[in-house]
Amino acid sequence: MPAAPETVLRVALPVPLPRLFDYRPPAGQTAGPDWVGCRVRVPFGRGDGEQVGVVVEVGRPDPDAPEAKPVHARLDSEALLVGELFESLRWVAAYYHAPLGEVVATALPGPLRSGQPLPETARHGWRATGDGLASLAAPGREGKPRRLLQALADRALGEDLLDQQHPDWRPAARALAERGLAERIALAGRTEPAAAAPGPTLMPAQADAIAAIRTGEGFGAYLLEGVTGSGKTEVYLQAISDCLAAGRQALVLVPEIGLTPQALSRFRSRLGVPVLAQHSGLADGERARAWAAMARGEARVMVGTRSAIFCPLPEAGLIVVDEEHDGSYKQQDGIRYHARDLALVRARNLGVPVLLGSATPSLESLHNALAGRYRHLRLAQRAGDARPPTARVLDLRKRRLVNGLSEDLLDAVGRCLARGEQALVFKNRRGYAPVLLCHDCGWSAHCKRCDAAMTVHAGGRRLICHHCGARATPPNACPDCASLALQPQGAGTERIEETLAERFPDALMIRVDRETTRRRDAIEKHLEAFGDRSGILVGTQMLAKGHDLPRLTLVAVVGVDEGLFSADFRAGEKLAQLLIQVAGRAGRASLPGEVVLQTHHPDHPLLNTLLAGGYPAVAALQLAEREAAQFPPYAHLALLRAEAPTEADVQGFLREARDEFGDPPGVQLNGPMPAPMARRAGKARGQVLLDARQRAPLHAALQHWLPRIAALKSARKVRWSLDVDPTDLY
């Protein structure tokens, strides 16, 4: 018999090289199509170096290539990446011009990326031990462990049911297990569905939106534009219920980790099925188990942040993107994908609807809706008895301010507290003060590694750079003139909290920013402590979206002016979205809401347009300006960034890259130019911006250009990256 034709495995490895690597099957094994999508452990690099990659193709070896090394081991008996998910990852690699191996590594949870087996996803539960039952007969201190033990006394409860009925039960379970009072056990059979909580009566607009989704067939993109408090989540829940009734899976993306616990609790109670989470705050093992449960079709609903867009959906029925405008859906390092855009691609490939929800849709999504590519669904009224908050502008010109707070704003907070209600004082700048300044000579504390001032923290006892994380102790005297007149200037959330505490010493005060929310579920715990009690929330944009506080009736925005004069072409859109989102926290129940905006520019066109016509008027104005200037969504951008220890290396590389670009039709190259922050974390930074009216010429030019850039000698002296569809130019 003739010998079987020799084959090689073409493997995608997690290395920054835009190519596949050829390997032979292990000795005594033959490779066929069933290897495609499987992970393999292969030799790579010098000595005993190894990598875990994914087989992309099985083909014939190149006769002119060196003999391929054999694979060390096949790690999966069945393909891990198959069908639509694998094709979508190929799309990511092609669209963002990234190595497929790095894309695959981004998509897989850490344990799978390192070669660990697909984790077990069998159901587990907890039951009380004999000692546990005996302990309940004796008097004991009430607390979460004892309440959990009482719940386990009658029968074992599955972990999915515990998630729904006993939030934050895991620490209590561990405490019981350490004392031998409860134990974790394997459960047989499928998940026990809990009783689904009934939903509210739908408003006509909500019913119309759900009917529109139900009448669609296959893929369809729906933009659900609803004012804050209009019940968009109720539309999501009904659409997911329809999906589950059809025996399909649903994926829900949310922008922030802080929103996930609240969303999980509401979804679990309403849907009556386990709802898995996927975000960076979870342990690697938990993320891998959730990924595997979706891949096996055992899990039906997943709620997660940006990275959840890579979860397998073998029985897909619906994808939801909540707050679709949010900037956190764009990955800002590594593979710079946009989760919302990838959700649209995956939904199209899967043939299922995708629902994009927002009170302030991105201009890109609005443009697509106006062009008829998306079905535009609107919820124009708040749900129930809630009414839109009233808005008033405080002109700060010639007024005395106390650490950025006007007397009128403080009076409004005082009246709110006197009524027994809650106030949110919003300042999108954390820390104590933006800068430490010498009043005698004008010296200010700047970061030695960045072109930025260091922010004052801890009431003036610490300086932190918010760009590179550098820390320093404030000097006792000015380094330039030896003056002792060093004072923090401006106000961040710490200083505002201090000022409000002095004015309202008896009020409950909670600050929510990055410093106070470092621990897992910190936002949820802060809001739980706030509850329905009268008090003041001080916070940044973490509080601007997704949170429902029925007794919050006043939103006071301290800093509006910072966003009115930014050089970023998206600044107007971002400011309008932020103001609408934070204002939407007020008056979400039966109590009337009020929004107070402080500004030195009360006649600014954007503010006037926003107050007179709301977000739709601002969006129409911004779209007209973008069209006139040929900015997205009327053009398509790509940004080549470079950084190096010296400015000469950066500019030398960018000039050579520009010279390699040529003159492709339909694409314009701008630069080289310094980055808006020309020095960051000790590195000089520069960039080149490409723009085109159509996507095809831009991607054709990039396909031709990038291999030439990689071949430049100057490219070895810099760290460079490409950002397709950048959301900011920094």
Rounded mean pLDDT, 637-658? 93
Give the burial class of 591: count Cβ atoms within 10 A of its Cβ; 0-12 exposed, 13-18 middle, 19 or more buried: middle
d(CA 101, CA 12): 4
- pLDDT category at 587 given cuts 50, 70, 90 is low
pLDDT confidence of residue 4: 47
Chain segment 553-579, per-residue pLDDT in tens: 888 888 777 777 777 888 888 888 888
For the chain, the straight-line distance linking the first and the last C-alpha, in angstroms and rounded, comes to: 64
CA angle 222/226/231 to nearest 5° reads 100
Rounded mean pLDDT, 669-691? 89
d(CA 125, CA 183): 8
Q: Which of 125, 210, 208, 211 is nearest to 173 (CA)?
A: 125
| 3-class DSSP state of 299 | coil
Structure tokens at 31: 């490779």
pLDDT confidence of residue 707: 93
Is 457 in contact with 516 (CB distance < 8 Å)?
Answer: no
Of all helices (H) and strands (E), which one includes residue 391? Answer: strand 390-395
pLDDT confidence of residue 188: 62
Q: Which of 724, 149, 261, 184 is nearest to 520 (CA)?
A: 261
| 3-class DSSP state of 612 | helix
Of all helices (H) and strands (E), which one includes residue 221? Answer: strand 220-226
Torsion over CA of 155, 160, 165 and 168, rounded to 10 degrees?
110
User: Pairing state of beta strands 220-226 and 375-379?
Assistant: parallel
User: Pairing state of beta strands 535-539 and 508-512?
Assistant: parallel
pLDDT confidence of residue 3: 41
pLDDT confidence of residue 261: 65
For 338, which DSSP code?
A: B
- pLDDT category at 624 given cuts 50, 70, 90 is very high
Dihedral sign for Cα 55, 57, 61, 64, please. negative
Cis peptide before 70 (omega within 30 of 0): no
pLDDT confidence of residue 181: 87
Q: Distance from CA of residue 608 to its chain's centroid?
A: 31
Give me the percent of the chain exceeding a pLDDT of 90: 40
Torsion over CA of 655, 656, 659 and 661, rounded to 10 degrees?
-100
Of all helices (H) and strands (E), which one includes residue 686? Answer: strand 683-692
pLDDT confidence of residue 299: 86
* Predicted model pTM: 0.88
Rounded mean pLDDT, 518-541? 77
639 backbone dihedrals φ, ψ, rounded to 5°: -125, 120
- Residue 1 Cα distances to 4, 339, 405, 677, angstroms: 9, 52, 89, 68
d(CA 252, CA 317): 11
Chain segment 485-499, per-residue pLDDT in tens: 888 888 888 888 889
Chain segment 357-409, per-residue pLDDT in tens: 999 999 999 999 999 999 999 998 877 666 777 888 888 888 888 888 889 99
| 3-class DSSP state of 78 | coil
- Give the chain's length: 730
pLDDT at 12 over 60: yes
- pLDDT category at 693 given cuts 50, 70, 90 is very high
Q: Which residues contact 217 (CB under 8 A, 6 or more apart)?
A: none
Chain segment 435-459, per-residue pLDDT in tens: 888 888 888 889 988 988 889 887 7
User: Pairing state of beta strands 124-128 and 157-158?
Assistant: antiparallel
For residue 486, the tally of other CB atoms under 10 A from its CB is: 20
| 3-class DSSP state of 672 | strand
Which residues on neighbouring strands pair with residue 439, listed in sequence order? none
